[in-house]
Amino acid sequence: MKQSLYAGVAVAVMALLPAGAQAQGTVKIGIISAYSGQFADTANQIDNGIKLYMKQHGDTVAGKKIELIRKDTGGPNPAVAKRLAEELIVRDKVDILAGFTLTPEALGAAPVSAEAKKLLVDMNAATGIITTKSPYIVRTSFTLNQVANTLAEWAVKKGGVKKVYTMVSNFGPGIDAEQYFQKGFKAAGGEIVGSVRMPVANPDFSAFVQRAKDLNPESIFVFVPGGAQPAAIGKAFAERQMDPKKIKIMSTGEAVDETAVKALGDLALGRISGWHYDYNHHSKVNEDFVKAFNAEFKRNPDFFAVGGYDGMHLIYEALKKTGGKADGDSLIAAAKGMKWESPRGPVAIDDKREMVQDIYIRRVEKVDGKIVNVEFDTVKGVHAE
């Protein structure tokens, strides 16, 4: 069997340094994200959440200095993410891996986490299988099955939707969204009238939207990754006069995030989504978070930012519980069962190392002249499947 970079001599070297960075009173965290390329803003928002948490809580916890080492994947490349994770552990002697803009990054780094027995905090990547790839992975974002299944059941039981056409990006999260939405929709008594998977890289949405329009569906469920694509598919709907008032357009939160609804303007009105966080969420914790985030970065936080913020909260609280011990076994044991009040609402980490959280059903509306997502129903304490 071909040995990885971490194997062989590297194992021997690490064995001679059992305390790692902790011997110097430091806990090193390697942040792996797509800081350049199409998803750079996603990585930057995760990073903004990390920075804000550390500004508010200091860079020392349980007597240990927190040191961050950032690595850029340049995009959703699992081989690059694996190589960077190996370099961070072998060369930089990090104690914890974190970040992960996209699923391929997390899946690339997962076997390294397992082999090195290092805690990996997934702050965004949302495909359900990620936490099964290493016993040392914990997620502080969400899973697509949490959101899509919840929205599907709500649509049939409370939204009055009986038939739906699904449109998703053809990669892990999109396939998860499709499968779990369809599963939940059919289980609740609804009918899937058609489906399509669209290229994740630079897609032209016009043909796919036209195909959906030709079927004249009662409703459409959409999943595309955050970034530039939500506004692009929204404009394709508008160009083909697919009015959300006549055809219910439902989605996970990416398709109607702040950037998308600003780009679409009135064209976004009436869109329905299920999601776990929005800067408009009403709570004292979130109001304080949004105020501090705006003061620091001159923009609103999004779900990427709250994933990074909560990820650092988990790391800090786990280190407090372990008294500064940063080995994977101690930290993952400390993370399980953890509960706190996040800007998104009450959250907890379950035995599967997944986030338990409320899912909000929202509608895009105009409030005081601004186009925003307005929560009008809540499904409490949703577990990942």
Judge if 25 and 138 occupy the same domain: yes
Q: Are 98 and 27 in contact (CB under 8 A)?
A: no
Percent of the chain residues past pLDDT 90, beyond the cut = 80
Strand-strand pairing, 64-72 and 26-33: parallel
Q: Which of 220, 280, 277, 223 is nearest to 255 (CA)?
A: 223
34 — pLDDT class (breaks 50, 70, 90): very high
pTM of the entire predicted model: 0.89
Judge if 242 and 367 occupy the same domain: yes
pLDDT digits (tens, 9 = 90+) for 280-298: 999 999 999 999 999 999 9
**Is 2 contained in some domain?**
no
Burial class of 7 by CB neighbour count within 10 A (0 to 12, 13 to 18, 19+): middle
* CATH code of 155's domain: 3.40.50.2300
Q: What is the pLDDT of residue 342?
A: 98
Judge if 118 and 133 occupy the same domain: yes
Q: Are 33 and 125 in contact (CB under 8 A)?
A: no
Judge if 303 and 327 occupy the same domain: yes
Strand-strand pairing, 60-61 and 64-72: antiparallel
Q: Are 195 and 182 in contact (CB under 8 A)?
A: yes
Burial class of 198 by CB neighbour count within 10 A (0 to 12, 13 to 18, 19+): buried
Q: Which of 357, 358, 349, 327 is nearest to 21 (CA)?
A: 327
**Is 254 contained in some domain?**
yes
HEC per residue, 211-262: HHHHHCCCEEEEECCCCCHHHHHHHHHHHCCCCCCCCEEEEEHHHHCHHHHH
Judge if 70 and 94 occupy the same domain: yes
Distance CA 286, CA 303 (A): 12
| C-alpha count within 13 angstroms, C-beta hemisphere, residue 268 | 29
Q: Which of 332, 338, 385 is nearest to 359 (CA)?
A: 385
**Is 4 contained in some domain?**
no
pLDDT digits (tens, 9 = 90+) for 151-164: 999 999 999 999 99
**Is 1 contained in some domain?**
no
Judge if 138 and 148 occupy the same domain: no
Judge if 84 and 212 occupy the same domain: no
Domain total of the chain: 2
Q: What is the pLDDT of residue 10?
A: 43
Judge if 108 and 193 occupy the same domain: no
DSSP bridge partners of 220: 165, 249
pLDDT digits (tens, 9 = 90+) for 70-84: 999 999 899 999 999
pLDDT digits (tens, 9 = 90+) for 349-365: 999 999 999 999 999 99
Mean pLDDT of the chain: 92
Q: Are 82 and 340 in contact (CB under 8 A)?
A: no
At residue 283, what are phi and psi to the nearest 5 degrees? Answer: -165, 155
At residue 269, does pLDDT exceed 80? yes
Q: Which domain holds residue 270?
A: 144-275+359-382
**Is 3 contained in some domain?**
no
Judge if 132 and 151 occupy the same domain: no
